[in-house]
Amino acid sequence: MQLVLEKRAERSNTIALISPLIAIGLTIVTMVILFAILGKNPLLALHAYFIAPLTDGYSLQEIAVKATPLVMIAIGLSLCYLANAWNIGAEGQFLIGAVAGSWVAVKTQGTDAGAWVLPVMLVLAAVAGALYALIPAICKVKFGASEILTSLMLVYVADLFLDYLVRGPWRDPHGFNFPTTAEFDPVATVPLLIEGGRLHLGSIIALLVVAAVAILLGRTIKGFEIRVVGAAPRAARFGGFNSNQLIILTFAVSGALAGLAGIIEVAGPVGHLQPGISPGYGFTAIIVAFLGRLNPLGILIAGLFLALTFIGGEQAQIAMKIPLDVTKVFQGILLFYVLACDSLILYRFKLVFPNRQVARGTG
Among 73, 188, 277, 335, binds other proteins (CB under 8 A): 335
Instruction: Choose the binding region for other proteins from 21-29, 124-132, 163-171, 228-236 (rule: CB under 8 A).
Output: 163-171
Q: What is the DSSP letter of 189?
A: S
Amino acid at 296: P
Among 65, 73, 83, 88, binds other proteins (CB under 8 A): 88
Contact 154, 251 (CB under 8 A): no
Q: What is the DSSP letter of 110?
A: T
Among 39, 110, 144, 240, binds other proteins (CB under 8 A): 144
Maximum Cα–Cα distance for the chain, whole Å?
A: 87
Instruction: Choose the binding region for other proteins from 120-128, 145-153, 190-198, 264-272 (rule: CB under 8 A).
Output: 145-153
Contact 307, 64 (CB under 8 A): yes
Instruction: Choose the binding region for other proteins from 13-21, 136-144, 194-202, 214-222 (rule: CB under 8 A).
Output: 136-144
Instruction: Choose the binding region for other proteins from 52-60, 107-115, 135-143, 206-214 (rule: CB under 8 A).
Output: 135-143
HSE-CB at 173 with a 13 A cutoff on CA atoms is 2
Question: Which DSSP helix (H) or strand (E) runs through 54?
Answer: none
Determine, following the binding rule CB under 8 A, whether residue 4 of this chain makes contact with other proteins: yes
Determine, following the binding rule CB under 8 A, whether residue 157 of this chain makes contact with other proteins: yes
DSSP 67-105: HHHHHHHHHHHHHHHHTT-----HHHHHHHHHHHHHHHH
Angle at 73 between CA 314 and CA 180, to 5 degrees: 60
Phi, psi of 108 (to 5 degrees): -95, 0
Site string for other proteins, 286-325 (x = CB under 8 A): xx--x--------------------------------xxx
Binding residues (CB under 8 A) for other proteins: these are 3-5, 7, 86, 88, 135, 139, 142-146, 148-150, 152-154, 156-157, 160-161, 163-164, 167-168, 283, 286-287, 290, 323-333, 335-336, 339-340, 342-343, 346-347, 349, 363
